[in-house]
Amino acid sequence: MDLADRRGLETDVYQPAEDSELLARAACERLAGGDLVLEVGTGSGYVADRISRTLRTRVVASDLNPHACRGARERGAEAGLEVVRADLVSPFVEDAFDAVVFNPPYLPTDPENEWDDWMERALSGGETGREVIDAFLADVPRVLAPDGVVLLLVSSLTGVDQVVSRAGEAGFSAVAVADESFPYETLTVLELLR
């Protein structure tokens, strides 16, 4: 893609930030080479590419945003990153992945504020900040191998205790494996096991 084609891409695709770095670091420390990993909501592909390169393992990156898929495909081409346009885990088969990694849209959003572009969709977690997380937790057990693990990034803005409770309802035990505090929020990576 030449520079003219990239114009505007930065506003259509979530770019790596502190949350991306925290999730990538936790995944590279907690997962094993040889695992088949799915990164949901890959955005720029940074986390998936880093897992693939660091662990030398097969990673499938998915995103609903076609601009994100294109960018992730370019970023991870050398590492053999597989990219699929998907809504959460809907197109994947049962018991397919050893690990699923997700940095969800988690910002609480006023229901009166109708968000309609790709970047806003990458950020908005609905009124509670947990709408996308709840949908993910409802379906991720289906695609996770019986002894698989989920690494889910959660913000204090969404209510970590509420996410842990919802994960429990979905059949997971949850433990915090990494966190980082900022003036406006604390980011936590939860490890979910069945």
Portion of the chain with pLDDT greater than 70, in percent: 87
Residue-level pLDDT at 182: 92
Instruction: Report pLDDT for 79.
Output: 86
Place of tokens 């695609």: 143
Question: For 3-193, CATH number?
Answer: 3.40.50.150
CA distance 103 to 119: 14
Query: What's the pLDDT tens digit per position in 35-48?
Result: 999 999 999 999 99
Task: List residues bridging with 154 in a β-sheet.
Answer: 188
Higher pLDDT, 189 or 109: 189
Tens of pLDDT, residue by residue over 48-66, are 999 999 999 999 999 998 9
Helix ranges, 100-144 (H): 118-123, 131-143
Please tell me which residue, 175 or 5, carries the higher pLDDT value.
175
Residue 80, phi-psi category: left (phi > 0), alpha (psi -120 to 50), beta (remainder): left
Q: Where are the beta strands (DSSP E) in the chain?
A: 37-40, 59-63, 82-85, 97-102, 144-155, 173-181, 186-193
Q: What is the mean pLDDT of the chain?
A: 89
pLDDT band at 85 (very low <50, low <70, confident <90, very high): very high
193 Cβ contact partners less than 8 Å away, ≥ 6 residues apart: 149, 150, 172, 173, 175
What is the separation of C-alpha 163 from the centre of its chain, rounded to a whole number of angstroms? Answer: 15
Residue 118: predicted pLDDT: 67
What CA dihedral angle connects 102, 64, 82 and 107, to 10 degrees? -20
The domain ranges of the chain are: 3-193
Q: 3-state DSSP call for residue 125?
A: coil
Cβ neighbors of 116 (< 8 A, separation 6 or more) are none
